[in-house]
Amino acid sequence: GAGVSQSPSNKVTEKGKDVELRCDPISGHTALYWYRQSLGQGLEFLIYFQGNSAPDKSGLPSDRFSAERTGGSVSTLTIQRTQQEDSAVYLCASSLEGGRTSYEQYFGPGTRLTVT
């Protein structure tokens, strides 16, 4: 079946502009995650969505970052007023939801964001 898809694959933007990154999870996966991968910080958790529950935003680095998930499926990560330190690969993952059971997360190919 289809895996997690993300778009765009690459995004170059000027400092101060807003960007939107999209994630389409695996069908049937109710849990969706955003992570960020950068050379200095490694892989960092950003935000988690589960069904219709309020998202866990505890990993978002600043209030310039926000995300939404519509209809329990597609998610959009928005970064406002981008800064150079936002340059990274943004990864989306999805999994089955098991409450206190952590199922494996399947990752998309990522969006490489470069802020100039």
Interacting positions 24-43 with another protein (CB under 8 A): 31, 33, 35, 42-43
| Contacting residues for 93 by C-beta, under 8 A, at least 6 apart | 4, 32, 33, 34, 35, 105, 106, 107, 108
5 touches another protein by CB under 8 A: no
Residue with smaller CB distance to another protein, 91 or 113: 91
Q: Please give the sequence-ordered ranges of beta strands (E in DSSP) within 39-110, or none if there are none.
A: 42-50, 65-69, 75-79, 88-95, 106-107
Residues at the contact surface with another protein, assessed by CB under 8 A: 31, 33, 35, 42-43, 45, 48, 50, 56, 58-59, 89, 91, 93, 95, 97-98, 100-110
